[in-house]
Chains A and B, each alone.
Chain A
Amino acid sequence: MKKQVPLTITFIVGVVLILSVFFPPVETWGEDFSLFFDIIAVFAFFLGGGNLIRVHTERIAKKKKDWGFSIITILGFLIMLAAGLFKLWNPGDISADVAATGSLFQLLYDWMFNPLGATMYSLLAFYVASASYRAFRAKNRDATILLIAAFIILLGRTPLGMYATGWIPESFSVLQIPNLAIWVMTSPNLAGQRAIMIGIALGVVAMSLRLILGVERTYLGMDID
């Protein structure tokens, strides 16, 4: 029962949603499911939030390494919760928009959340440079091809590309870097993208069928051997 019921649920729900595409009266069941999922996720959030508080409270209680920062995390979490759920400093009342201008929720978002997220995102500039350095050492043929393609596209998006290859005669204009970059994006790049996408779709089909038919059960914690 404990094993069979979940597998049966997976099978029935999976088959119903596959077939619902072909029958207009039930074709929106997929969208209805995403509504259910949003509601399930909110309930699950209590588990996640509870875990967050428990982990950090334990760190504080046992005075583990960096336990002081756990106090900051819990404080930040509780303050943001209070600001949003009770709409503190909100110019309207409890029915107003949670992110109304001047509300504590909006201020915390503008002063802390936004700058922190934007700065983490901007670290990508440094990391892409270091990844490029490592990738462009071109240790094998595949890496060399990746390097050359990336170089062509990179140069093609800057004036340097035209400057470097502008001397190439018009009859061979496709070899000018900007034109070559466009050709690479619209031809081999498109071919590779298509092959990857078709492969992914077939992988999803096979994996979905394994899940629906109950052949794959590790997500339920079963048959791990």
Chain B
Amino acid sequence: MEVFGLWLAAFFTLGIISFLYKDNPWYKFSEAVFIGISAGYWFVVSFWDNLYAKFYLGVTANDDYMLFVGAVLGAMMILRLAPNIGWISRWPLAFVVGAISGFYLMNYFSSNVMKQVQNSVIPLFSADYGQSMFTESFGTIAGKIVIAAGTFTGLIYFFFSKEHKGAFGGAAKVGIWVIMITFGASFGYTVMSRMSLLIGRMDFLFGQWLGMIK
């Protein structure tokens, strides 16, 4: 059984990799299996984790009758299938959008604005009276200046209601350069981790399946 499973896994692995050459029946078959199996998987997980564990047990074991709100909204969503009363499906949608908007407004504001501004308020350098002008290395001070100036100019780049001309335009240009450095750094940082994913599959094919790597 184990050997059968191994060969099946290798079959599908090679089927997906074959897409790199071109679309072919092997890839189509693997894709079809993947779609069917994965859709079924997530339905089953959703059924047992949400409908059974959260809703059914929540109501029967914990007497949490508020969960019926979710069930009613879910049922209203399915009413979309009925042509005459399909408009009722907008109500749960409105509920979801309103809740998400309200929830994320405060969430993003506190974590991405308040926290980021708080972390940005740092001294650029410190001095030690009678000893030396700066107590930190040049690299550290330069780094702090770059952080402060980079954040400032990056925000200038995102201004919508002012034309990027003159000094403002110059600052916006510096801002997009900082953002490009950010993107380049992210790009370079993830290249190695992407390679390790391929190493993992190669290890499976040549190690576990073919036994060429021990």
A residues near B (Cβ < 8 Å) are 2, 5-7, 9-18, 20-21, 30, 32-33, 35-49, 52, 66, 69-70, 72-81, 83-85, 98, 105, 107-126, 128, 132, 135, 141-143, 145-154, 157-158, 174, 183-202, 204-205, 207-209, 211-212, 219-221
Contact = CB atoms under 8 A, between A and B. Distances in A.
Interface in B151-177: 151, 153-155, 157-158, 175-177
A122 B44 CA distance: 26
B50 A199 contact: no
Contacts of B10: 115
B132 interface: no
B103 A33 contact: yes
Chain B interface mostly? helix
A84 B44 CA distance: 6
A43 B12 contact: no
Chain A interface mostly? helix
Contact of A147 (B12, B184, B195, B201): B184
Interface residues of B, number: 116
A119 B181 contact: no
A199 B116 CA distance: 11
A20 B149 CA distance: 36
Given A38-B70, A186-B143, A188-B147, 8 more contacts: A17-B99, A17-B102, A35-B58, A78-B40, A80-B36, A84-B47, A122-B197, A149-B182
Contacts of B92: 40
A154 B185 CA distance: 8
A144 to B, nearest CB: 9
A43 B188 contact: no
B93 A219 contact: yes
B197 A212 contact: no
B41 A196 contact: no
A195 B157 contact: yes
A32 B153 CA distance: 40
Contacts of B143: 183, 186-187
Given A10-B98, A39-B70, A125 B44 contact: no
A165 to B, nearest CB: 15
B200 A36 contact: no
B87 interface: yes
Contacts of A105: 41, 44
Contacts of B101: 10, 14, 17, 207-209, 211-212
Contacts of B104: 204, 208
B73 A201 contact: no
B211 interface: no
Contact of A198 (B103, B117, B192, B197): B117
Cβ-closest 9 pairs across A and B: A76-B36, A195-B154, A191-B150, A80-B40, A149-B184, A192-B182, A84-B44, A43-B74, A17-B102
Given A10-B97, A13-B98, A174-B139, A195 B178 contact: yes
Given A6-B93, A15-B102, A204-B104, A81 B35 contact: no
Contacts of B45: 84, 98
A69 B37 contact: no
21 contacts: A2-B87, A13-B95, A17-B102, A39-B70, A43-B74, A45-B43, A66-B28, A79-B36, A114-B9, A116-B38, A118-B201, A119-B12, A128-B195, A132-B191, A142-B180, A146-B184, A192-B179, A192-B181, A198-B155, A201-B108, A209-B101
A175 to B, nearest CB: 10
B135 interface: no
A111 B112 contact: no
Contact of B102 (A37, A143, A208): A208
Contacts of A196: 154, 179, 182
